């Protein structure tokens, strides 16, 4: 079971907001003081996993409120805080504050699912990596090494993850390190020990430990059903390429271990990367949550369309709105592409079309659209008319159907068959007459392969790319052609209005 949504009635300065989580990754971004760390603490508090089993350094899979919050007796206790977690099984868990008197002191408590000690929480392992992991080793008063070791399989995997993140070929020897502020495995080598590693290497040691702890737990616990990994300021101490590589690592392990990875960031490099085409494979399972307080009250800007706005806000830049220069057009085959191009030629459709010579079946297009493949929601998908009954031209989709209820080659075949023998089309330099057409159809079966073969053998006699025949079809089928042009304009308008390009540069 995964957490789908967080709804907050009131928690400190966060009021009346809600947002959804990604299946694998949730990126939480925003300026200082917008409540990013608070969200991680609130999420983690919804779960518990009990005292056993523990992670690879002997700690519970849980997130104590005290690791994230220190409530003020003046500012917090006087308020009533309440928020809700909504889950993939349709259930919802409330978390609500109360005051508890312990001796002479008033304590502030957040109960999940009512006042039942740990009983109301969802059973799921959680690892929360706070900013304490970034404490410099030189600043630690006491450090102990070597009490816990990893088995050989985990050492090999530690090396693989480390070298994928840093694009290196180091031989890593993970050494257990314990100090006042943190416990982890330091990625040491023959060249340097734990005192010689950088802050970024130390940070990655904590992150790898968390991933491997979930992997070991899955192997040990037959009831394992995924986990939650929470990381505050993921980008801290890491150079840009390492940040990008880490996102790919998260996506892979999230699928393998049924993890939901949630992290806060200020990194322009991460945000620009997730916007880029290089990150297209990550987007399906990733959610972006932006927190903005530029107008006072914190607001949520959710989804990738809002990401560039938050990026501009973090840089204190004005945002420039640009309509797309062109829109991609996809087809089932070359026959459809040529027919469609002739229909919209010389027509104003609201964009510059970029025709993609990509052959995919209508069924594949439908599957990708159903799976919310993002590219097909900002592109025009031109399909043959024989699929209209299964997938119509709805307002929210970007589908344009070719004329008729058959494949393009059959539509043109019937058109030529019904043309009068003295139609102007038959007067041409190729001497392609009605008799020539009828001769070409001898022995041709009315099936997909035969008709495609016939179409491609005849098109060279129909003018360049068949335009003479296609244009004549358009002249005699003006209403059908207008419907296709009109639908294209409508889809183009929706794309340019909803998928505009934003630039803060």
CA distances from 145 to 135, 175, 184, 209, 370 (A): 17, 7, 10, 15, 52
DSSP 66: G
Please provide the size of the chain in residues: 505
Instruction: Confirm if 335 and 408 have CB atoms less than 8 A apart.
Output: yes
Which is more confidently placed, 71 or 172? 172
* Helix segments in 358-447, DSSP class H: 362-370, 408-418, 434-440
Evaluate if pTM is beyond 0.75. no
H or E segment to which residue 291 belongs: strand 286-292
Q: Say which residues have a Cβ less than 8 Å from residue 98's Cβ, sequence separation at least 6.
A: 109, 111, 115
Which pLDDT does position 119 carry in this prediction? 64
473-490 residues labelled b (16+ CB within 10 A) or e (exposed): bbeebeebbeebbebbbb
The model's confidence at residue 277, banded by pLDDT at 50, 70 and 90, is confident
Are β-strands 3-11 and 14-20 bridged in parallel, bridged antiparallel, or unpaired? antiparallel
The model's confidence at residue 426, banded by pLDDT at 50, 70 and 90, is very high
Find where tokens 């300026």 sit.
31
Are β-strands 320-322 and 501-503 bridged in parallel, bridged antiparallel, or unpaired? antiparallel
Mean pLDDT of 331-344: 93
Q: Write down all domains in the chain, each with its CATH number in brackets.
A: 3-133+220-317 (3.40.50), 327-497 (no CATH)
Asked if residue 317 has pLDDT above 70, the reply is no
Name the residue among 496, 4, 6, 3 with its Cα closest to residue 291: 6
DSSP 473: H
The model's confidence at residue 43, banded by pLDDT at 50, 70 and 90, is very high
Rounded-to-integer distance, Cα 347 and Cα 445, Å: 35
Which pLDDT does position 75 carry in this prediction? 74
Rounded-to-integer distance, Cα 136 and Cα 195, Å: 10
User: Could you report the per-residue pLDDT of 193-219, keeping only the tens digit for each?
Assistant: 888 888 999 999 999 999 999 999 999
CA distances from 93 to 2, 7, 99 (A): 13, 10, 20
The model's confidence at residue 39, banded by pLDDT at 50, 70 and 90, is very high
Specify which residues 184 forms β-bridges with.
177
Which pLDDT does position 318 carry in this prediction? 55
Which pLDDT does position 289 carry in this prediction? 94
Mean pLDDT of 253-272: 93
Which is more confidently placed, 283 or 427? 427
Which pLDDT does position 498 carry in this prediction? 62
The model's confidence at residue 117, banded by pLDDT at 50, 70 and 90, is low
Mean pLDDT of 165-170: 93
Mean pLDDT of 96-113: 80
3-state secondary structure of 263: strand
Which pLDDT does position 272 carry in this prediction? 86
Averaged pLDDT of the chain: 88
Asked if residue 25 has pLDDT above 50, the reply is yes
User: Could you report the per-residue pLDDT of 62-73, keeping only the tens digit for each?
Assistant: 888 777 877 777
Asked if residue 458 has pLDDT above 90, the reply is yes
Q: Which of 21-25, 254-258, 295-299, 335-339 has the lowest mean pLDDT?
A: 295-299
Name the residue among 387, 335, 395 with its Cα closest to residue 366: 387
Percent of the chain surpassing pLDDT 90: 54
Asked if residue 464 has pLDDT above 60, the reply is yes
The most confident of the ranges 179-188, 227-236, 294-303, 379-388 is 227-236
Mean pLDDT of 347-366: 85
In terms of C-beta density within 10 A (0-12 exposed, 13-18 middle, 19 or more buried), how is residue 393 classed? middle
217-250 residues labelled b (16+ CB within 10 A) or e (exposed): bbeeeeebeebbbbbbbbbbbbeeebbbbbbbbb
Which pLDDT does position 502 carry in this prediction? 45
Mean pLDDT of 102-126: 80
Rounded-to-integer distance, Cα 288 and Cα 302, Å: 6
Which is more confidently placed, 147 or 48? 48
In terms of C-beta density within 10 A (0-12 exposed, 13-18 middle, 19 or more buried), how is residue 125 classed? buried
Mean pLDDT of 51-65: 87
Name the residue among 109, 114, 113, 131 with its Cα closest to residue 122: 113
Asked if residue 85 has pLDDT above 70, the reply is yes
User: Could you report the per-residue pLDDT of 4-16, keeping only the tens digit for each?
Assistant: 999 999 998 899 9
Which pLDDT does position 316 carry in this prediction? 67
Rounded-to-integer distance, Cα 10 and Cα 338, Å: 58
CB-side neighbour CA atoms (13 Å) of 202: 23
Rounded-to-integer distance, Cα 385 and Cα 472, Å: 19
The model's confidence at residue 462, banded by pLDDT at 50, 70 and 90, is very high
One-letter-per-residue 3-state SS of 111-168: EECCCCCCCCCEECCEEEECHHHHCCHHHCCCEEECCCCCCHHHHHHHHHHHHHHHCC
The model's confidence at residue 504, banded by pLDDT at 50, 70 and 90, is very low
CA distances from 115 to 93, 112, 365 (A): 12, 7, 50
């Amino acid at each position: 079971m995964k957490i789908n949504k967080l709804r907050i009635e009131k928690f400190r300065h966060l009021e009346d907001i809600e947002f959804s989580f990604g299946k694998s990754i949730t990126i939480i971004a925003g300026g200082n003081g917008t409540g990013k760390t608070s969200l991680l603490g609130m999420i983690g508090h919804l779960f518990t996993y009990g005292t056993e089993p523990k992670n690879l350094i002997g700690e519970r899979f849980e997130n104590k409120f005290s690791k994230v919050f220190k409530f003020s007796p003046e500012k917090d206790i006087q308020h009533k805080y309440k928020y809700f977690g909504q889950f993939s099984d349709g259930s919802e868990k409330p978390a609500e504050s109360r005051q508890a008197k312990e001796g002479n002191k008033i304590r502030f408590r957040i109960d999940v699912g009512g006042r039942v000690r740990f009983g109301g929480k969802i059973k799921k392992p959680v690892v929360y990596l706070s900013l304490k992991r970034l404490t410099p080793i030189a600043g630690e008063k006491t450090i102990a090494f070597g009490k816990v070791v990893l088995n050989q399989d985990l050492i090999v995997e530690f090396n693989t993850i480390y070298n994928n993140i840093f694009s290196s070929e180091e031989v890593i020897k993970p050494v257990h390190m314990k100090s006042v502020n943190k416990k982890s495995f330091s990625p040491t080598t023959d060249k340097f020990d734990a005192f010689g590693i950088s802050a970024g290497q130390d940070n990655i040691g904590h992150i790898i430990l968390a991933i491997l702890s979930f992997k070991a737990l899955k192997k040990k616990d037959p009831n394992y059903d995924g986990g939650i990994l929470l990381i505050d300021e993921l980008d801290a101490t890491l150079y840009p390429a390492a940040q990008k590589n880490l996102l790919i690592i998260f996506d892979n392990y999230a699928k393998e271990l049924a993890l939901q990875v949630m992290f806060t960031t200020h990194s322009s490099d991460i945000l620009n990367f997730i916007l880029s085409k290089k990150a297209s494979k990550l987007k399906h399972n990733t959610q972006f949550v932006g927190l903005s307080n530029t107008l006072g009250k914190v607001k949520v800007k959710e989804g990738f369309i809002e990401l560039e706005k938050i990026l501009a806000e973090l840089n204190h830049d004005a945002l420039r709105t640009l309509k797309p220069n062109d829109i991609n057009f996809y087809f089932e085959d070359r026959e459809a592409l040529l027919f469609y191009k002739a229909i919209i030629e010389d027509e104003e459709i609201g964009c510059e079309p970029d025709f993609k010579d990509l052959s995919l079946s209508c069924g594949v297009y439908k599957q990708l659209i159903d799976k919310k493949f993002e590219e097909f929601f900002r592109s025009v998908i031109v399909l043959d008319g024989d699929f209209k009954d299964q997938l119509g031209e709805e307002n929210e989709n970007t589908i344009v159907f070719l004329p008729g209820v058959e494949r393009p080659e059959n539509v043109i075949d019937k058109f030529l068959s019904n043309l009068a023998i003295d139609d102007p089309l038959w007067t041409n330099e190729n001497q392609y007459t009605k008799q020539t057409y009828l001769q070409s159809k001898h022995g041709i079966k009315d099936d997909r392969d035969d008709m495609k073969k016939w179409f491609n053998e005849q098109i060279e006699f129909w003018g360049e790319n068949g335009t003479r025949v296609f244009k004549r079809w358009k002249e005699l089928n003006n209403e059908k052609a207008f419907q296709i042009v009109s639908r294209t304009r409508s889809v183009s308008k929706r794309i340019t209005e909803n998928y505009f390009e934003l630039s803060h540069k």
